[in-house]
Amino acid sequence: MVTLKDVAERAGVSPATVSYTLRGGEHVSKWTEERVRAAARELGYSANMAARSLRYGKTGMIELVVRGLDVSTIYAKMVTHVKHVCTGRGYHSLVMQTEQDPQTLRDAVGEINRQSCDGMILDPCGMTANAIRKLNRNQPIVMLDDYSGTRIFDNILTPHEEMAYAATRHLIETGCRRIMLVGASREQAAAPGVTPVVGLRLRGFLRAMDEAGLMVADAVDDRMIGGEWRYFVGVDLGRELVDRGGFDADGLVCCNDTLALGVIRGLADRGVRVPDDVRVIGSDGITMGEFTVPRLSTVELDVHGMMKQAVDMLVDRIDGSYDGDARQTTASFALHCRESCGCGAA
C-alpha cells in the first residue's frame, strides 16, 4: 500500500509537508503543491479515511445535499465543482439528492448527526424555519439559499433578483420592448409553499421594466407566465404562448436555462424562430446551453466561486479556525451573450 512517506520521497519533501499540503494548508508554495499532488497521483495515493477518523475524530468527508442531479440543472455543476474544491482542501465529497422529498432530506441530514461526515453543504429545499431550528447547531453546516431568516448557519445566497434584472436589462439594451417573464408570475409568487426565489426573480424583472418605462400598470400580468422551471414545462409554455393567440413578445426572460431550452423547443414547434422572431435569455449557466442551436444566452451563476466559499466556510468551522456568528454572503454572476438573444456571439 502506498504511504505518505512514499509520496514524500517521490516529491522530495518531508511527510509532514505532504500531509499539510493534501489537507489544503494555505502556506504552501505553488511549486511544492504541484509536486506533492503530482506524486500522489502517480503513486495512486489516497488518504486513509478510517485511520483519520480514529486518530482525529474526523472522517475527511464533506456532504453536499441538493434536490436533484439532472445534467440539465445547476446542481450538476455544483457536484463537479464541490468535488474539485474539496480535493484541494484535502477532503472527499459525498453527494446526496433529495428530490425535495422530506424523508430523504431527513435521512441526508442524519448523516452528519451519525458523524458520517465532518460537515455539510445543504440546499434547504424549502425547509421551514422551524425545521432548520431543529438541526444540530453544533454541527458544521453551510446553507445554500436559506431564506428562512433564522441566521443560525452560514449561508450563501444566489442573487436571484439581480440576475433577473441583468437579463431583462440586456434584452432592453438589444432593442426589445415587449418583454415577457417566463417561470414566474404574481399569482405563483403568492402561492403557499412557493420558494421566495420566484418572487425575487419577479422583482428583478419588474424593476428593469419599470426603470425603462416599459411596464403598463394595467397589463403587468400579461407580461408574465408562471410554471415550474423544468424542460418539458418550458416546451408546453412555449407552445401555449403561441396557441392562446396575440403573441407579440419580442423578448423572453426565462427563470432558468432548463426552462429556456424547453421554451425555445416549444416555440420552434409552432414555427416561431429564436432569435429572428423573439429573443430569449436564460439564467444559471448550465453547460448544455453552450451546445444548443441557437446557443443559449444566459446570466451565469459563479458556481465554482460559490462552492469554494461554501467549502472554505465549512472547513473554518470544522478545524475551529472560526467559531463566531453565522456568516452570510452572496455569490457573483456574469452575463454571457450568445445567439439566442440576437447578439450572435458564440
Per-residue model confidence as pLDDT tens digits over 44-71: 776 555 455 545 557 888 999 998 877 6
pLDDT in tens, 248-267: 999 999 999 999 999 999 99
**What is the average per-residue pLDDT within 158-164?**
98
pLDDT at 50: 47
What is the CATH code for 4-46?
1.10.260.40
Give the DSSP letter string of 226-242.
---SSHHHHHHHHHHHH
* All cell numbers assigned to 205: 424583472
Are 141 and 120 contacting, i.e. CB atoms less than 8 angstroms apart? yes
Q: Which of 61-75, 106-120, 266-280 has the highest mean pLDDT?
A: 266-280
- Domain 53-158+302-332 classified CATH 3.40.50.2300? yes
C-beta atoms surrounding 101 within 10 Å: 13
Domain with CATH 3.40.50.2300 in the chain: 53-158+302-332, 160-301
Instruction: Name the amino acid, one letter, at 139.
Output: Q
Residue, of 133 and 269, whose pLDDT is higher: 269
Assess whether pLDDT exceeds 60 at residue 4: yes
Q: Which fold has domain 160-301?
A: Rossmann fold (3.40.50)
* All cell numbers assigned to 25: 494548508
Show Cβ contacts of residue 139 under 8 Å, excluding neighbours closer than 6 positions.
112, 113, 119, 120
Assess whether pLDDT exceeds 70 at residue 150: yes
pLDDT in tens, 189-210: 998 878 899 999 999 999 999 9
Q: What is the pTM of this model?
A: 0.82
pLDDT, the chain, mean:
89
Residue, of 21 and 312, whose pLDDT is higher: 312
Domain with CATH 1.10.260.40 in the chain: 4-46
| Distance, CA of 194 to chain centre | 18
Percent of the chain with pLDDT over 70: 92
Judging by DSSP bridges, how do beta strands 61-66 and 92-97 pair with one another?
Answer: parallel
pLDDT at 217: 75
CA distance 300 to 77: 11
